[in-house]
Amino acid sequence: MARILVTEKIADGGLQRLRDAGHVVDVRLGLSPDELIEVVPGAAALIIRSATQVTRAVLEAGVDLVVVGRAGIGLDNVDVEAATERGVMVVNAPQSNVLTTAEHTMAMLLAQARNIPQAHAALVDGRWERAKWEGVELSDKTLGVVGLGRIGKLVAQRAHAFGMRLVAYDPFVDAERARQIGVEMMSLDRLVEVSDFITLHVTKTPDTIGLIDKDLLARAKPGLRIVNVSRGGIIDEEALAEAIRIGHVGGAALDVFTVEPTTESPLFDLPSVVVTPHLGASTREAQDKAGDTIAEQVGLALGGEFVPFAVNVSAAEATETVRHFLPLAERLGEIFTALSEGLPRVLEIEYAGQIADSDTRILTLSVLKGVFGAVNDEPVSYVNAPRIAAERGVEVRDTSTATAHDYVNLISITGGDHGIGGTLVGLRGEPRIVVLDGHTIDLPPARHMLVVRNDDRPGMIAFVSGVLSDAGVNIDDMHLGRSERGEAALQVIATDRSVPADVQDAIRAGDGIVSVHGIG
């Protein structure tokens, strides 16, 4: 099995799951950048948290890497672009610390409103400063939520219970949907003008770095208090410190900083600022969830299976309906390549029936995994399949149609002189090959198969069966494909093992045999 390099503390339960699956889990904590480059060769997976920097140099050194797993949400410490170029899947655990982070946001919001850390420090230092640390109520105040994603919505729900008025800025959220949860959408400029408090819940991107800057703070409602439990760098810390010093901004509560770890900041000397050392995801429950989730995602990636939380796969999201078709799509691609004995210049994939209503991009990636898996000198994944197609000069065209004449759903692959189609049948969704090179068949896509084209005349089935019998190859299943003219000129046979090349040659030598293709 695979070697998995772990460079930061991960919950033991997740790591044990990987060991139980037969993988070698190599835990190396506290590596320097140079040491990481030295030990990453030979690792198929790299599991990290927020401290390890997965740079282009690390990815270039990790020639065997299949997947990088981040036990958490943020990925600003991973060069995702370089990983994608090298066909390395990047996965995270986006739901593991959602609740924990929302709760920490509320804790910081309350601490800022009621000056809890400052009052505590004074009291344990021997000073009873009841008048000095007078706070404000949250009730009837306006909370501006910047980023109304999963965490932002949880914060909004909890703030609503405190009697706060809720406004939000998020260019990707529909105003009507926000209104349904009691949130009014508005521009960022307007939000800072009307809010008594704002909380940040955005990812760190070139567009969000320095989002809260000097100019925006100057527009803010006097006395505004800011809470950031998202990512460091979203706030210009120097500008925020100055706005607090002059009294325009009432205070801040920060869990994240531009540079981490850090013990120095212009904000640390300000009495109206509350800080914590990136504790947003630091609960036992969140760490257990992150460890379990990332172990599951890494295991799926190493097995070449669909990975729900792959961030650099163009179609990482898939409905439950679509996921059922993933193994079939990949197997159809494998069989197509075996039949074609080469790659077509144009590969056409069609999705017909009810499945056409779904996002089928992940199915196209599955087809490409199957098509190129047997002819490529590097492992084919959901990440690098499109690149491999482009490098090999194969144009991929996928189309969808709601009309499927004979089946509820049908996946068809055509290219050159060959074509194959498959579907799922019955309540259990069992896979079937139903079309092969224009012939109608009905056969499960077995591990080992033999496709024989022959003249439509008596004795052909007996001849093929006899050669297989003499060679000790057992026939598990068989179907005769009929063309539109009704000719039974195709035999599709499932065998108990791979049919040796010399046995295939013996069948080819038979009178009336047109072609023989072994699959698997």
Tokens representing 286 are 């969140």
Among 412, 310, 312, smallest CA distance to 360 is for: 412
CA–CA distances in Å: residue 37 to residues 53, 55, 419: 11, 10, 46
Look at residue 167 and give its three-state secondary structure.
strand
Per DSSP, the three-state class of 223 is coil
Are 212 and 237 within 8 A, CB to CB?
Answer: no
Judge whether 345 counts as a catalytic residue.
no
Helix/strand/coil percent split, the chain, to 5: 35, 25, 40
- 334 in catalytic set: no
Q: What's the maximum distance between 2 C-alpha atoms anywhere in the chain?
A: 104
Contacts of 395 (CB under 8 A, 6+ apart): 345, 346, 347, 389
Check if 260 is active-site.
yes
Q: Which residues contact 115 (CB under 8 A, 6 or more apart)?
A: 133, 134, 135, 272
Q: Provide the token pair at 33.
A: 């950048």
Q: What is the dihedral of CA 334, 340, 342, 345, to 10 degrees?
A: -100
Which member of 70, 225, 231, 439 is catalytic?
A: 231
Q: Residue 348, CB half-sphere, CA atoms under 13 Å: how many?
A: 10
> Which residue in 184, 260, 305, 348 is the catalytic one?
260
505 is written with which tokens? 């040659």
How many angstroms separate the CA atoms of 63 and 511, rounded? 50
Residue 358 CA: distances (Å) to CA of 111, 118, 122, 168, 517: 46, 54, 59, 31, 34
| 274: Cα separation from own chain's centroid | 34
Residue with tokens 């796969």: 313
Residue of 278, 432, 439, 479 marked active site: 278
User: 62, 41 in Cβ contact below 8 A?
Assistant: yes
Q: Copy the structure tokens of residue 484.
A: 């539109």
Which residues participate in catalysis according to the annotation? 231, 260, 278
